Structure 1
């Protein structure tokens, strides 16, 4: 494979930057105690790292990862992390400084922030906050006492997504080689995304990923990356978090297609999550790993989905029955829960597994008589036997929780059905929800309501869809309307 190069990643240059020196931007610390970005001399960093001693190396480094990270200590006692690039990695000092300054303007509590750089002679160094509690790789793959809990794994994913979204808002939409070594833990155990990944490994950008088996497909095809490439890498991170192993994306996609979900999950997590939450996280990862960049979800969507999962994880009891911390949020419908029917309550919780069970029990009872009679007549004459078979196959797949197959058969059925079946629409709505196709699900729920205006199920499902789409006020109204119909 020949040399692979990036398309240039440009930012607006700062007019005050000189070719070999950057003055300190601000002598004061930020409000959170993080020092403002500044220039360090090579001598200062030599002293801080004890002459770049091998004993101070804290990063994995080899031929594929040639740029070494050292821990160090400044004169004031502050611990720092210093990344030292290979000689001549950045021939143009002004471009190196521009990149570093742009990253240095980012300040987030979800990141290990960059606090300086050094450009002297052939030396190119970055300086960041030091995170004393190691990498995600250490805690996830090489634990000694106990494995990382489900709740913390979701927290790591959410904090990482939040950091990436923050960088996007600041105009930095590429993160290079996102992996478990790029996520660190601060002194109180909070996950932080390393700022070092916001800069290319070198001016030439010869390597996006340290392992090509985990690189985005567009990088392997064209040697270029796009902002959506970061989403692919985020998907590999989700795989690591749920499996506790480093599974190549191609192998994971085969497992997704074969619905071998148990193989994907870390056995050490048994009992720490619901089947619904496991399925939702797997679907998120599979969407991130789609081969077409434009088919992958946005980081904002991932933040929203992970936030819901993380909140539910706080409430989920673990195997040992330990005390669960009180939730950090309250749902507005809590006071109403005793007055809601089981289906309404399940839809308000967006508990898809319970919704599936309840829809199965309901059967086709909510289809009005004219629909049922029309189906019976068509079946009796045999004119619609093939179309009716589609519904039977769809129902079988629905019972078996093969929701993608159910969508296909229900769609075939409805394309040739003489009348609209509200029940088929509500069932396909749930299938869409199970596949994170929230807009399609809402459309089916609304069509079911049109077909059967007295169908409370359609309104309850609308509430679940609207909650997935973060439209809580509209969801409350649908729930209220559905409850009124059911009470009447």
Structure 2
């Protein structure tokens, strides 16, 4: 092949890992974040590439039509930008006052609000960007492994610490606390989204329309109280216990009949003691009491959860098996969908992405063809590629490999995309060594092509070379970030 594996220049693991402190409910982050800023609409439009659909990380339905974008500010800071429906927050003064009040909060357990924009009819919030998805994704929609018991306990504690901090600062109310509101930062530590701290947001009801999970007093009064937040915390404990979204009424019936094991996630069998499971079930039961006054407060939640913690010395990213993509600076480079799919070795997702992108990344690759080549060989070469593409779309892997090999061996044209596609076919055929060779060849043809590095990572992971794979992911992510800046 002639190509050698690239020298990985960026270190995957940072030299100093923040310890996972469990006594940090009173620790601010005032030194690490700027003060609250009012951004202009032009600044946020530039940060999100003109509010591009490609920058959307979440969006809600017609009843609450607001969208959250990933954006990058002029200082290279990644942020989440929530853009409200134009009919939301008609009172601009009320919006600014609420945003500024929430923006005064600074804590390591929050995805902190760092700014807003109130210009014309536009209402936008700017928060720290959390690159590692939501609790809902990791708990309900996992692909490689279920969330570990120790990590579930840590999520519960960190969330309780976030609520205790907010309560100590006079922000006791949180609207629609659920698994989508818990985000994971660059260290894979769980944080509570600050967006739910905004009251009177007019972007939908205070709770989702699923009445089975709504605090009973809210159904009677339509008002959110501190006790309502604790009730929602109880539903999250059920999520963590079961790995499913179980209606509280059903869970309480199981608890009353002492059928605790029916609540537990079967994927965790043998990974926790019955006493630990029972303690968490009892705490959930206390949070879900019908009478609000019988529920614990946030400080009591922290007190109850702290002694239950396991593997306290292990960083969250280790417990979650999440790579840290970081440079020598503190700024994290988020993985793109292709990078994430390569990390997870989600070959189906990689196939969809490569097929969608097609051959546009081959532009600029020099192909010098003599007249003889044109007349005698080019048509045959192009036919091989065409047949290979048809087989690739149909996931006829052996045929795709044969046709792409004919194209490559013909020698009349060079295509990094063909190497990438054959690489994936090899991976799907459980031939990771051959896949790695193709990924390196694609890099040799296009040295600055992130896709080649991502595919190297997928092949290296399959070969058990996890450290090299992580460095390859870092290189790919850094190249894409540089491309985005340019």
Q: Structure 1 length as normaliser, TM-score? A: 0.57
Equivalent pair of 1:30/1:36 in contact (CA under 8 Å)? no
Counterpart mapping for 1:223-372 below 5 A: 223-311=222-310, 314=312
Aligned pair 1:140/2:139, yes or no?
Answer: yes
Q: Give the distance between the partners of 2:279 and 2:262, measured in 1 at CA.
A: 16
Give 1:32 deviation, angstroms: 4.2
Higher relative contact order (CA 8 A, sep 6+): 2
- State the secondary structure of the residue aligned to 1:124: strand
Equivalent pair of 1:90/1:96 in contact (CA under 8 Å)? yes
Give 1:212 deviation, angstroms: 2.5
Equivalent pair of 2:64/2:85 in contact (CA under 8 Å)? no
1:57 aligns with 56
- State the secondary structure of the residue aligned to 1:304: helix
Give 1:63 deviation, angstroms: 2.8
1:189 aligns with 188
Equivalent pair of 2:138/2:146 in contact (CA under 8 Å)? yes
Q: Deviations over 1:240-285 (max 9, x none)?
A: 0110001111111111122221111001111221111111100000
Q: Give the distance between the partners of 1:73 and 1:315, measured in 2 at CA.
A: 33
1:115 aligns with 114
Equivalent pair of 2:29/2:108 in contact (CA under 8 Å)? no
- State the secondary structure of the residue aligned to 1:59: strand
Q: Give the distance between the partners of 2:313 and 2:73, measured in 1 at CA.
A: 43
1:474 aligns with none
Q: Deviations over 1:311-346 (max 9, x none)?
A: 5x6599xxxxxxxxxxxxxxxxxxxxxxxxxxxxxx
- State the secondary structure of the residue aligned to 2:251: helix
1:219 aligns with 218
Structure-2 change in CA distance of 1:273 and 1:62 (3 Å)? same
Equivalent pair of 2:71/2:81 in contact (CA under 8 Å)? yes
- State the secondary structure of the residue aligned to 2:309: helix
**Stretches of 4+ aligned residues off by more than 6 angstroms:** none
2:66 aligns with 67
Q: Deviations over 1:355-375 (max 9, x none)?
A: xxxxxxxxxxxxxxxxxxxxx
Q: Give the distance between the partners of 2:100 and 2:70, measured in 1 at CA.
A: 21
Q: Give the distance between the partners of 2:50 and 2:65, measured in 1 at CA.
A: 18
Q: Give the distance between the partners of 2:159 and 2:166, measured in 1 at CA.
A: 11
Structure-2 change in CA distance of 1:65 and 1:214 (3 Å)? farther
Counterpart mapping for 1:36-115 below 5 A: 36-115=35-114
Give 1:228 deviation, angstroms: 0.5
Q: Give the distance between the partners of 1:241 and 1:63, measured in 2 at CA.
A: 29
Q: Give the distance between the partners of 1:86 and 1:211, measured in 2 at CA.
A: 22
Equivalent pair of 1:88/1:123 in contact (CA under 8 Å)? no
- State the secondary structure of the residue aligned to 1:43: helix
1:129 aligns with 128
RMSD: 2.0
Q: Which moved more, 1:260-269 or 1:237-246?
A: 260-269
Unaligned runs of 5+ in 2: 1-27, 315-486
Q: Give the distance between the partners of 1:272 and 1:129, measured in 2 at CA.
A: 34
- State the secondary structure of the residue aligned to 2:174: coil
Structure-2 change in CA distance of 1:60 and 1:273 (3 Å)? farther
Equivalent pair of 2:29/2:107 in contact (CA under 8 Å)? no
1:368 aligns with none
- State the secondary structure of the residue aligned to 2:70: strand
Q: Give the distance between the partners of 1:300 and 1:191, measured in 2 at CA.
A: 18
2:206 aligns with 207
Q: Which moved more, 1:49-58 or 1:286-295?
A: 49-58
Structure-2 change in CA distance of 1:64 and 1:214 (3 Å)? farther
Counterpart mapping for 1:391-430 below 5 A: none
2:339 aligns with none
Equivalent pair of 1:216/1:229 in contact (CA under 8 Å)? yes
Structure-2 change in CA distance of 1:279 and 1:64 (3 Å)? farther
Give 1:65 deviation, angstroms: 4.2
Q: Give the distance between the partners of 1:188 and 1:155, measured in 2 at CA.
A: 13
Q: Give the distance between the partners of 1:137 and 1:32, measured in 2 at CA.
A: 30
Structure-2 change in CA distance of 1:157 and 1:283 (3 Å)? same
Equivalent pair of 1:64/1:210 in contact (CA under 8 Å)? no
Structure-2 change in CA distance of 1:303 and 1:309 (3 Å)? same
Q: Deviations over 1:194-236 (max 9, x none)?
A: 1011013624874333532211001112212211000000000
Bigger radius of gyration among the two: 1
Q: Structure 2 length as normaliser, TM-score? A: 0.57
Unaligned runs of 5+ in 1: 1-28, 317-488
Q: Deviations over 1:31-67 (max 9, x none)?
A: 5422211100111111111111111111242235422
2:163 aligns with 164
Q: Which moved more, 1:268-277 or 1:205-214?
A: 205-214
Q: Give the distance between the partners of 1:204 and 1:185, measured in 2 at CA.
A: 24
